Amino acid sequence: MVTLKYQAAVIDENCTGCKKCVWVCPTEAIHMEDNIAIINDDLCVSCPNCHGICPDDAITRVERAEPKELKVPLEDVPAEDILDLCRKANIHPKQWHCLCTATRAEEAAAAVLKGAITPEQIALDTGTRSGCTVYCQMMSMRLLEAAGHELKKPEKWRWYPTTQSIWNVPQEVVDKYAGYFLEEDKDVFRKF
Ligand code: SF4
Ligand code: SF4
């Protein structure tokens, strides 16, 4: 859950139309019109990406007219379904999904169970990806894959590669380095 107090805004006269902001926006909130970036206020989660990458100081942050709350109530989804999806993803429901916004995996799982099929949609439902925009991306991908969704990378570099964890060490590596007890470690984690 996140309460957004700010949003991005374009300073038209500084925009050179390079599109860099479009490619890094985690919620696809920016498009171009007449070579000027346009921001959809409803889709902006006020992350640091666009104004961080803009080479021409053409993006600033402004206060929203009204704070906007992004939240998926856990009571909307049966608790056992949340647990089941988290188990499939090898994620504890109380584990942090997004450290920047203090969102737990159970809320993102609820967003998936309510219909989110992309990391961008999870971000818009829960407010995640409004901080570093990186860590929660990996968590969202794991939940979506566990729910059976095929992930299609948006244009350019908006997605980051999955952060390596014990769950995606290739089996031949696990077997080759048996002395590191990775299989045994996975069994212990599964018990939680
Ligand atoms: S990154 Fe900056 S200059 Fe480039 S399109 Fe976006 S607002 Fe315009
Ligand atoms: S979500 Fe982030 S990158 Fe997208 S418009 Fe808002 S502040 Fe910019």
Q: What is the pLDDT of residues 130-186, one digit of tens each?
A: 888 888 888 999 999 999 999 888 777 767 666 678 888 889 999 999 998 999 988
How far, in Å, CA of 163 to CA of 103, rounded?
18
pLDDT value, residue 138: 87
pLDDT value, residue 108: 98
- Phi, psi torsion values for 47, nearest 5 degrees: -90, 180
Nearest in space to 151 (alpha carbons), one of 120, 111, 118, 116:
118
* 18 Cβ contact list (under 8 Å, min separation 6): 55, 56
- Return the CATH number of 2-70, one of 3.40.50.10190, 3.40.50.300, 3.30.70.20, 3.30.70.330: 3.30.70.20
pLDDT, tens digit, for every residue of 25-34? 989 999 999 9
Give counts: helices (H), strands (E), the chain.
Answer: 8, 6
Domain ranges of the chain: 2-70, 74-164, 165-192
* 88 Cβ contact list (under 8 Å, min separation 6): 146, 147
Q: How far is the CA of 46 from the centre of ligand 1 (A)?
A: 16
pLDDT value, residue 176: 93
Q: Which residues line ligand 1 (CB under 6 A)?
A: 10, 15-21, 37, 54, 56, 58-59
Among 10, 15, 35, 158, which residue has the most ligand 1 atoms within 8 Å of its CB, making it the best to mutate? 15
pLDDT value, residue 131: 86
Rounded-to-10 torsion of CA 139, 114, 70, 143: 0
pLDDT above 70 covers a percentage of the chain that reads 97
Q: How far is the CA of 58 from the centre of ligand 1 (A)?
A: 6
How far, in Å, CA of 170 to CA of 176, rounded?
10
How far, in Å, CA of 17 to CA of 76, rounded?
42
How far, in Å, CA of 165 to CA of 174, rounded?
12
Per DSSP (E only), the strands in the chain are 2-10, 30-33, 36-39, 59-70, 96-98, 103-104
pLDDT, tens digit, for every residue of 18-51? 999 999 998 999 999 999 999 999 999 999 999 9
CB 112 within 8 A of CB 143: yes
Q: Is 70 in the pocket of ligand 2 (CB under 6 A)?
A: no
pLDDT value, residue 133: 83
Q: In terms of DSSP bridges, do strands 36-39 and 103-104 run parallel, antiparallel, or are they unpaired? A: unpaired
How far, in Å, CA of 106 to CA of 12, rounded?
40
In this structure, the residue with its CA closest to atom 6 of ligand 1 is: 21
